[in-house]
Amino acid sequence: MKNIVIVTGASSGIGRAIAKRFAAADYEVVAAGRDRARLSGLESEAPGITIWSGDLSSPPACRELVEHCMRLHGRLDVLVNNAGIYFRRDTLATSDEDWRQTLAVNLDAPFFLSRAALPHLRSQGGVIINIASDWGIRGGRKAAAYCASKGGLVLLTKAMALDHAAEGIRVVAICPGDVDTPMLEQEAAVDGLSAAEALREYGRQSPSGRVTEAGEVAALALFLASAEAAQITGAAIPIDGGNTA
């Protein structure tokens, strides 16, 4: 019987890479995102992927996604909370809407979705993987709401790990630094850089001399979901080329 994973924010970047990596490892993947058109190509790119579209910032939508997975597959083994947004603003420039939207997508949705998934994960001794950020374990400039949301996600990870370890459920956070994704291109545009210039400049700032590839984050997620990672829970694992060393 194949294992089942839900991956949010799967239409591009890290989420898309994770969905494809799990599918290649013979998982059945429910790829979730807000943009159905952008998701649709995933089904043809990798067998074993089905899509679900909707806004996961409310509890009913999160319950609907989990129920959809259970109707389709009858079980859930892994939940990857990846969906995220980022506004490049300091505290004074952050509007009420910026703040609320960032917290809704980056923190509310992982909480609501984890709460909906946990009763089903108990049956398999499942895994929750939260895609946080290196700015969830250290501060970043012009990212007040983003840092708050990702820092909250890191501590939510640790709290859930403690609450559910005795049930055989593991909860882990991955904390990427700069990753070569469309989100990085958006950040580059704010800095007046092309995508190629951004890769060189942000790479130069990293001890490793380059930014992380989305596939590297996906590979780490797949390992953390595996039996080989059975003793890893409550951890916030940087994958940032040494930025937080």
Q: State the pLDDT confidence band at 198, using cuts at 50, 70 and 90.
A: confident
Least confident of 30-44, 61-75, 86-100, 118-132: 30-44
Count Cα atoms within 13 angstroms, Cβ side, for 43: 10
CB of 27 closer than 8 Å to CB of 52 = no
pLDDT of residue 194: 83
Q: State the pLDDT confidence band at 141, using cuts at 50, 70 and 90.
A: very high
Which pTM value belongs to this model? 0.95
Q: State the pLDDT confidence band at 66, using cuts at 50, 70 and 90.
A: very high
Q: Where are the beta strands (DSSP E) in the chain?
A: 4-7, 28-33, 49-53, 78-81, 127-131, 170-176, 236-239
- Which has the higher per-residue pLDDT, 41 or 53? 53
pLDDT of residue 89: 93
Flag whether pLDDT at 186 surpasses 90: no
Q: Is 202 a catalytic residue?
A: no
Sequence-distant (≥ 6) Cβ neighbours of residue 111 within 8 angstroms: 156
Sequence-distant (≥ 6) Cβ neighbours of residue 186 within 8 angstroms: 86
CA nearest neighbour of 153 among 121, 176, 130: 130
pLDDT in tens, 97-133: 999 999 999 999 999 999 999 999 998 899 999 999 9
64/116 Cα distance (integer angstroms): 9
Q: State the pLDDT confidence band at 196, using cuts at 50, 70 and 90.
A: confident
Quote the percentage of the chain above a pLDDT of 70.
Answer: 100
Sequence-distant (≥ 6) Cβ neighbours of residue 178 within 8 angstroms: 184, 202, 203, 206, 211, 212, 240
pLDDT of residue 43: 86
Domains located in the chain, CATH noted: 4-177+214-238 (3.40.50.720), 181-211 (no CATH)
